[in-house]
Amino acid sequence: MIVHHPSETTLLAYAAGTLPEALALVAATHITQCAACRRRLQGLQAVGGVLLDEMPPAAMSEGALDALLARADEPAAGLPPVLNADLPPPLDRVALGRWWPIGIGARWRPLQVGGSAWAGLVHAQPGRALPRHGHDGLELTCVLSGSFVDGTGLYAAGDVSEPEGDHDLPPVATDLEPCLCVIASEGMRLRGLLGWAQRMIGQ
Amino acid sequence: MTLDTPTPDDHAALIQAIAQRRDRAAFAALFRFFAPRVKAWMLRGGAGPAAAEELAQETMLAVWQKAALFDPGRAGASTWIFTIARNQRIDALRRERHPSTLMPDPLEEQESPVQADRVMAMAEQESRIRAAMAGLPAEQADVIRKAFFEDKVHAEIEKELGIPLGTVKSRLRLAMARLRAALGDLS
C-alpha cells in the first residue's frame, strides 16, 4: 500500500504543467499507481478549468475557426512507442542511457529527458546505500520495486520521497530484495561515485 | 442555449455532440468560448501572439479529435479542455528540445465506468471551485493564479510580488486548504 505521496505544491505544479519534465515523469509514475493522488490531481486540474473559464478572452484571428474545420479530418497524434516494457508507465516510453556502476552493489541509468531537471534509475542491492545527495532544489524519488529506508521512514513500491533539506541518513535498500527507484532532481549535486558518474556523462 | 452565457452543462453537451455526431455547429460554439481563453492563457504564460494563437488552434483541434474520450463523470468540460491546453503547451516546449518523450496523461490511462452520480458531482465541482476562488483573500487567489497561468517558480513569484518565499509558500498552502475544503468529498 502506498503511504508516501508528493506534496500539495508539487501536485499543483504538475496540474499546472510547470513541473520540469524529469520531475513530472517521477510524479506521473506515482500518480498512475495512486488512486488518492489521481483524485487530488483531478481537483487541482478543475481549479485550472475554472481559471481558464475566467480568463479575459484574447481575440483569435479572422478565419481561425474555418482554418481549423478544414483540418478536422487530421488524425490525432499518438503516443510515442513503448521502449522499456519492464518499466511502469510513463517511464516505459522514455529513452534510457546505459547502466553505470556507482560503487559496490549500486548502479545508475539516466533517463533521456530535456528541461531544467534530470532523471534516472537507481538500482541498489539489498542492504546497500543509495547515493547520498544534498539538495538545492526539488527532488522526487519513486520506488519501482523493493524498498528503502532513510531517516524519515520506509519507502516501498509506489511510494514517493520528497525530502526537504539535506538527508541526514542516506537511503539504504532493505535486506529482502534489490531496490529499483526513479529519481529526478532540479538542483541536486550528487556526492561520491554517482557524482563522478554524473560528471562523466555530462549531466 | 445562449452562447453569451454558456453554462458548464452546455459545454459538456457540446463536447458530447462532437463525439456522437461530429457536430460542427457544436464545435464552433465551443471554439468561440474556449479558443480566445486558451490563447489568453498561452499569452500569459509567455508565448508570443503567433505561438499563442497556434497553441489555441492545436488545443481546439485536439478537442475535436479527442471528444469521444471526454468522460463527464471524470472531469467537467472546462477542466478537460484545460488539461488538453496544458498538455499542448508542454508538448510544444518539449518538441523544441526533445522529440521523443511526450508523456501520456495519467488520468487518461485509467479505465472507469461512467456513473450518473459522478457526472453530477463533476458538473458541481467547477461551480464549487469558482465560488471558493471568489471567496479567497485577494493575495491567496493571486498566488494560485500565478502558479497556474504564469509558469513561474516560487522564487520568481516571490520577486514579482516583493514578498518572502516563505510567505508565497504559506499563502499557497492556505489557499489550497480552502480550495480542498470546497472540493470536499469530490476530490
Q: Are B36 and A24 inside 8 Å of each other by CB? A: no
Per-residue pLDDT, averaged over B72-80, amounts to 91
pLDDT band of B16, cuts 50, 70, 90? very high
Q: Are B148 and A74 inside 8 Å of each other by CB? A: no
Alpha-carbon gap, residue A159 to A2, rounded angstroms? 5
For residue A50, give the nearest of B64, B78, B89 by CB distance: B78
Higher per-residue confidence, B159 vs B25:
B25
> Any residues with CB less than 8 A from the CB of B170 and at least 6 apart, and which?
none
**CB proximity A23 to B under 8 Å:** no
Contacts across the A-B interface (CB distance below 8 Å): 205
Residue by residue, DSSP assigns B69-105 as: G--TTT--HHHHHHHHHHHHHHHHHHHHH-TT-PPPP
Please report the ipTM that was assigned to this predicted complex. Answer: 0.88
Question: Residue B81: is its pLDDT beyond 60?
Answer: yes
Question: Residue B79: is its pLDDT beyond 70?
Answer: yes
Low-confidence ranges of chain A (pLDDT < 50): 191-193, 202-203
pLDDT, tens only, B37-67? 999 999 998 899 999 999 999 999 999 999 9
* Helix or strand holding residue B44 (H, E): helix B24-44
Instruction: Specify the residue for cell string 531544467.
Output: A116
* Helix or strand holding residue A27 (H, E): helix A21-33
pLDDT band of B187, cuts 50, 70, 90? very low
How many angstroms separate the CA of residue B86 from the nearest CA in chain A?
A: 6
Give me the pLDDT at residue B17, please: 96
Query: What's the whole-number average pLDDT of chain B?
Result: 81
Give me the pLDDT at residue B99, please: 42
Alpha-carbon gap, residue A15 to B176, rounded angstroms? 13
pLDDT, tens only, B129-164? 889 899 999 988 888 888 887 665 555 666 677 777
Alpha-carbon gap, residue B168 to A89, rounded angstroms? 33
Inter-residue contact A28 to A90 (CB < 8 Å): yes
In the sheet where A147-150 sits, what is the strand order? A153-156, A147-150, A172-173
Give me the pLDDT at residue A102, please: 86
Give me the pLDDT at residue A9, please: 86
Per-residue pLDDT, averaged over B155-176, amounts to 75
Q: First vs last Cα of chain B: how many Å apart?
A: 30
User: Residue A115 has what DSSP assignment?
Assistant: S
Give me the pLDDT at residue A193, please: 47
Give me the pLDDT at residue B118, please: 76
pLDDT band of B166, cuts 50, 70, 90? confident
pLDDT, tens only, A126-151? 999 887 665 667 889 999 999 999 88
Closest chain B residue to A94, measured at CA: B101
Q: Show residues of chain A in contact with B98, CB under 8 Å.
A: 21, 112-115
Give me the pLDDT at residue B7, please: 65
In the sheet where A160-161 sits, what is the strand order? A100-101, A106-111, A118-124, A179-185, A139-145, A160-161
Inter-residue contact B74 to B120 (CB < 8 Å): no
Alpha-carbon gap, residue A51 to A64, rounded angstroms? 23
Closest chain A residue to B56, measured at CA: A60
Inter-residue contact A160 to A5 (CB < 8 Å): yes
pLDDT band of B186, cuts 50, 70, 90? very low
> Widest CA span of chain A, in angstroms?
66
